[in-house]
Amino acid sequence: MLFQLPPNLKVDLARLAAFLSEAKALRLRMAFEFRHPTWFEAATWKELEKAGAAVCIAESDELVTPDVVTADFACYRLRQAEYPAERLAEVAARLSERAARGGVFAYFKHEDEPTGALRASKVLAMVRDRAS
């Protein structure tokens, strides 16, 4: 389950810890997308790691989340306007590396055009080629 926090919500570790404590009983795989840079600190990653929750690594033209490992799975939201071929190759390498350590959930930005699906298809093919 992905929890996307609003971009104006600044870091509140007590609130995050309380939520994670309550949510732990649900036994869900949880990922958190922090959209305010004040969350990008070691104390946040530590709280997520204690709960086995992942940082959703979100890329947009405005903000890029640090690629931090806090769980046995990974979550990526790839939402930049452009992904040239060399950038897609970097994404494929990163996802392959993370997949070797656990599950990976990766999403490209959806549009009216099939751009996101086409990018995902290219990356998937590159990941498969790396695995063989």
56-102 tens-digit pLDDT: 999 999 898 999 999 999 999 999 989 999 999 999 999 999 998 88
Total domains in the fold of the chain: 1
User: For residue 123, is pLDDT > 90?
Assistant: yes
User: For residue 132, is pLDDT > 90?
Assistant: no
CATH code for the domain of 111: 3.20.20.410
**Closest Cα partner for 39 from 52, 22, 56, 25?**
56
What's the domain range around 72? 2-131
22 phi and psi angles, rounded to 5 deg: -70, -40
Q: How confident is the model at residue 113 (pLDDT cuts 50, 70, 90)?
A: confident
Q: Helix 42-51 to helix 13-23 angle, to the nearest 10 degrees?
A: 10
